[in-house]
């Protein structure tokens, strides 16, 4: 049904022995949209993708993907989705065209049909000129585009992209973003996991922030930013004593303290009146603030406010969760 969500999950849990990786995750993803699961390594993003793509059974909870139950209708789910993991899954010893023809044959296409599908995808992903070169000669961005092309052999309704731009240079990352936007324009639903805040901000219609296996906030980027404040005031003190005084006056309002730079931030609505009031409150003698700047809130501010830490590496990274 057109009004049915592409993905719907209720109370997903997953434990590996005594380690609980997911702790009651609820998700709802509209068809033809980009949904981003944002969080640090080890937060549970990859585990969520593996469960929703039927590669891993949940410990508890239910989910439907592309209209089918992930427990009872695994084959139907798999026919309607594609998964692109963190590492490219292409054969470096074959050419780009050979990789795509091989994937087409694995999906039941034969002869001219397989060649036609491979040729169409090479053209769509701007790889036609490189199609007869071995993949080991491709750049990182070209390999990622080839990997995405392979995932579209069967024209899936839902594509899971698990940190697709990790390790790519800015130009290659931009190319992948353009591909994602094109897929959505053609009606595909994208489930994107990332730890790149800019990526979620640029691509996602809806964002869920995950930390410690729990969803701590959901909404579009502007809504999430509004939760912490529309703007922030960054303050730099002239010396350590003045810095300590600023932090003391701010108390729990202080965010992003950086004693090595004598810098600290505080939420503001961005208006001149509020900024003046904060400066008068925090620096009544005009000695504690050497300089200040006002910034619009970012997703990094959201993550810091919601979790108390940035999207950095975690102890669970080696578990691949």
Element (H, E) at 199: helix 197-203
- Which of 225, 250, 280 finishes a domain? 225
**Does residue 312 fall inside a structural domain?**
no
SS3 (DSSP) at 304:
helix
| pTM of the entire predicted model | 0.72
- What is the pLDDT, as a whole number, of residue 318? 39
**Does residue 311 fall inside a structural domain?**
no
DSSP conformational letter for 260 = G
- What is the pLDDT, as a whole number, of residue 52? 96
- What is the pLDDT, as a whole number, of residue 298? 67
What tokens were used for 126? 């701007």
**Does residue 306 fall inside a structural domain?**
no
Element (H, E) at 145: helix 140-150
| Residue 248, burial from CB neighbour count under 10 angstroms (0-12, 13-18, 19+) | exposed
What tokens were used for 182? 């094109």
Q: How far apart are the C-alpha atoms of 73 and 242, rounded to whole Å?
A: 63
159 and 42 assigned to the same domain: yes
Is 7:54 a contact under the CB 8 Å cutoff?
A: no
Beta bridge partners of 211: 214
Element (H, E) at 10: strand 7-16
- Which of 199, 225, 251 finishes a domain? 225
Residue 110's φ and ψ, nearest 5 degrees, are -130, 150
Average the pLDDT over each of 82-96, 201-215, 232-246 and give the range with the smallest value. 82-96
Q: Which of 104, 94, 195 is nearest to 143 (CA)?
A: 94
Residues 15-19 have a mean pLDDT of 93
Higher pLDDT, 170 or 167: 170
- What is the pLDDT, as a whole number, of residue 321? 55
Q: What is the pLDDT of residues 135-148, one digit of tens each?
A: 999 988 888 889 88
Average the pLDDT over each of 10-24, 50-64, 154-168 and give the range with the smallest value. 154-168
100 and 240 assigned to the same domain: no
- What is the pLDDT, as a whole number, of residue 16? 93
The percentage of residues in the chain with a pLDDT greater than 90, rounded to a whole number, is 52
SS3 (DSSP) at 310:
coil
Report the CATH number that the domain containing residue 292 is assigned in CATH. 3.30.70
CB atoms within 10 A of CB 182: 12
290 has a pLDDT exceeding 70: yes
183 and 154 assigned to the same domain: yes
- What is the pLDDT, as a whole number, of residue 2? 59
Per the structure, the complete domain to which residue 269 belongs is given by 230-296
């Amino acid at each position: 049904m057109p009004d049915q969500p592409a993905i719907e999950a209720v109370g997903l849990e997953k434990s590996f022995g005594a380690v609980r990786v997911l702790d009651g995750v609820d998700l709802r993803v509209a068809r033809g949209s980009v949904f981003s699961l944002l969080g640090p390594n080890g937060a549970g993003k990859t585990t969520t993708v593996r469960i929703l793509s039927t590669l891993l059974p949940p410990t508890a909870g239910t989910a439907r993907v592309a209209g089918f139950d992930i427990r009872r209708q695994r084959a139907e789910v798999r026919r309607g989705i594609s998964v692109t993991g963190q590492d490219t899954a292409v054969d470096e010893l074959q050419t780009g065209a050979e990789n795509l023809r091989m994937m087409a044959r694995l999906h039941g296409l034969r002869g001219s049909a397989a060649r036609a599908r491979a040729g169409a995808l090479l053209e769509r992903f701007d790889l036609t000129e490189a199609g007869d070169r071995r993949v080991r000669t491709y750049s990182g961005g070209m390999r990622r585009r080839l990997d995405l092309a392979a995932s579209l052999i069967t024209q899936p309704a839902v594509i899971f992209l698990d940190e697709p731009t990790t390790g790519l240079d800015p130009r290659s990352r931009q190319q992948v973003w353009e591909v994602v936007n094109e897929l959505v324009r053609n009606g595909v639903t994208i489930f994107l996991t990332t730890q790149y805040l800019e990526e979620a901000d640029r691509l996602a219609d809806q964002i869920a922030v995950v930390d410690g296996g729990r969803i701590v906030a959901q909404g579009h980027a502007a809504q999430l930013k509004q939760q912490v404040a529309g703007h922030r005031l960054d303050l730099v003190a002239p010396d350590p004593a003045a810095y300590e005084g600023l932090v003391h006056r701010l108390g729990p309002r202080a965010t992003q303290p950086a004693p090595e730079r004598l810098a600290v931030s505080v939420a503001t609505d961005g208006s001149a009146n509020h900024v003046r009031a904060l400066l008068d409150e925090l620096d009544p003698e005009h000695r504690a603030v050497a300089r200040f700047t006002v910034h619009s809130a970012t997703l990094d501010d959201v993550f810091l406010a919601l979790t108390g830490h940035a999207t950095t590496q975690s102890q669970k990274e080696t578990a691949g969760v």
